[in-house]
Chain A
Amino acid sequence: MLALYRKLLVASIRAQMQYKLNFITSAATTGMIMVLDFLILSAILYRFHDVSGWNIYEVGLLYGISSVAVSVYRFFAPEINDFEKYVIHGELDQLLIRPVSPLLLLLTRNLDLSRIGGMVQGISVLILSIAGLYAQGKEIGLLLLFTPVAIVSGGVIYFSIALTTAALGFWTHQVKDLQTFTIYAPANASNYPISLYPGWLKWMFYTVLPIAFMNYVPMLTLLGKAESWYLPLLTPVVAALALVLSLRFWAYGIRHYHSTGS
């Protein structure tokens, strides 16, 4: 299974490399957008010093985790993000005639290498933030241990949300602007403390779009803002749960695949 995954992936990357210019320009654009994004955030923080009781380094931690997690998801699953074309043009047909899981085939069709830019940027923010917290005299041992867990869990949560959104495409045939609500908006929202948002939105981020569990909830404990010791444990648990549910929904949705006439 893993050998097949690797083999198919290498083939896809080789195919992608046939269009080198395209690759270079898209990597550069992604990097630039991410840098711009961060500059805006820095400007806001510089002006206000803190956001609902979280200082610049603490918000940087939230931002860093979220942005690396999104990049990890976009890196591994660009075809889930672009799933619309598979439904509209019936491209899923050719994946379904193979004796291999169509999801595995989808994931091996492409790697979005240009997202490495986003990961580097996010990791830089994380390093700066953790160093800043250390300078303020905070205990950072647990933070360092937990950050990779948060990133992986966050990537899984984004992937689960994206897979669910993609599976909705079996009925709607359009996913692009659903993604605005389910992926892009939450990805932006999770750069800041969830306590900022109105009740109904908060409720969304704790349930159907559970991005709160990726960075905000565990950081409450780790940054000493909440007493409960178990909050960080919820992060991988929620991620696993989201993944299982989204895989089930995907398997259910694929039965409703229409394909296209030819």
Chain B
Amino acid sequence: MIRADRVGKTFFLTQAKEGRFSSLRTLFSREKREVKAVEDVSFSIEEGEFVGYIGPNGAGKSTTIKMLSGILHPTEGEIVVGGYSPQQDRARVASQIGVVFGQRTQLWWDLPVHDSFELLQAMYKIDRQSYVRAMEMYKELLDLHDFLDTPVRKLSLGQRMRADLAAALLHNPPILFLDEPTIGLDVVAKTRIRAFLKEVNRTQKKTILLTTHDMDDIEQLCSRIIVINHGKKMVDTSIQELRNRIGLASMIQIDYHKPPKLPEAYANEGVERIELAENELTIYYDKGKIPSPRILSEVAQWGEPLDIRMKEPGIEEIIKRLYR
């Protein structure tokens, strides 16, 4: 469905000049800085796969997605999306993909949500019947009813993202590119979007490529992840494989009223490490092997907890661990 073959993107950034006639002087400037945003990246994604594309900020995730969707032209290598090159057949690829940028809406900012859908219908030449069918389906699945007549600029972030997802899927593309679709959303909104994406991937066999900084997105949605750092592909593996390789440790931290009394030899499958510093207890554990509520019920027996904090391992930390 999607194939990238030794793809690279190099920018030549001209040092922008300041002051009068800056653009003229920039145009004729010779000071150029070479930036390799993406270097020698290859992968192939089959129909129906749900792939997480992760890496720290500035790793080249967005650049890759933009090359796949035909926005940017790669400096090297070849890309095929849905059978065509996004660079040579941009329009043809465009009608086969749905794109969502979490940071920026694709909808008409000042118009009611519903108007955006109608404009997209005209743009993608969606016939009346398919359009009505798609609208009915996504209105239901994403619960758009309440804000179809609201101008996009007045939507909450969660509502906007739901509308954006519907807009990306309206023309029934087999491929979805999602660039940080859960960014900035609260837990409820995130859960809802994830459930929707799972559903779309399962029932409609959509091929989905997702970038995110949220490990829960990856764990709950993706069957495979590709890690990119400094523009290069580092890892391309299934989630299970990754879990075995590094063990995604979650952390739970408890402040006790008084120093807790730990059982002499506490051993539990899934708990990796326990640290105690006066009143503060920190437990590192593998969520896959021991559910958080069980740990919570046990720690309550060791003393009187004042405060409990839970932390998931961040993406940066996992990448750091991968190459330690």
**A interface with B by C-beta (< 8 Å):** 3-4, 7-8, 11, 14-16, 18, 90, 92-94, 96-101, 168, 171-178, 181, 255-259, 261-262
Contact = CB atoms under 8 A, between A and B. Distances in A.
B69 interface: yes
B109 A262 contact: no
B72 A257 contact: yes
A99 B122 contact: no
Interface stretch (B98-106, B250-258, B269-277): B98-106
10 contacts: A7-B122, A14-B115, A97-B94, A97-B99, A98-B123, A177-B20, A177-B23, A181-B24, A261-B57, A262-B179
Interface of B: 11, 14, 16, 20-24, 26-27, 57-58, 62-63, 66, 69-73, 87, 90-92, 94-95, 97, 99, 101, 103-104, 106, 108-111, 115, 119, 122-124, 151, 179-180
Contacts, number: 103
B122 A14 contact: no
Contacts of B22: 174, 177
Nearest to A260: B62
Contacts of B27: 168, 171-172, 178
A29 B62 CA distance: 41
Contact of B119 (A8, A92, A97, A256): A8
Contacts of A93: 66, 71, 101, 104
Contacts of A94: 101, 104, 106
B91 A100 contact: yes
B14 to A, nearest CB: 7
A14 B20 CA distance: 38
A261 to B, nearest CB: 6
B32 to A, nearest CB: 10
Contacts of A168: 27
A11 B66 CA distance: 27
A11 B115 contact: yes
Given A4-B123, A101-B91, 5 more contacts: A92-B71, A96-B90, A98-B94, A172-B27, A173-B23
B106 A174 contact: no
A92 B58 CA distance: 20
A104 to B, nearest CB: 10
A98 B123 CA distance: 8
A176 B23 contact: yes
B23 A175 contact: yes
A97 B176 CA distance: 12
A172 B110 contact: no
A97 B72 contact: no
Contact of A99 (B20, B24, B94): B94
A84 to B, nearest CB: 9
A10 B27 CA distance: 37
A18 B26 CA distance: 38
A178 B23 contact: yes
Contacts of A175: 23
B144 to A, nearest CB: 19
Contact of B123 (A100, A257, A258): A100
A100 B95 CA distance: 9
A-B pairs with lowest CB-CB distance, top 8: A174-B23, A15-B110, A99-B94, A99-B95, A99-B91, A96-B71, A97-B99, A255-B73
B21 A177 contact: yes
A11 B111 contact: yes
A8 B121 CA distance: 11
A4 B91 CA distance: 15
A233 to B, nearest CB: 35
A178 B119 contact: no
B123 A173 contact: no
B285 to A, nearest CB: 34
A259 B108 contact: no
A90 B101 CA distance: 12
A15 to B, nearest CB: 4
Contacts of B63: 259, 261
Given A15-B110, A262-B180, A174 B94 contact: no
A172 B69 contact: no
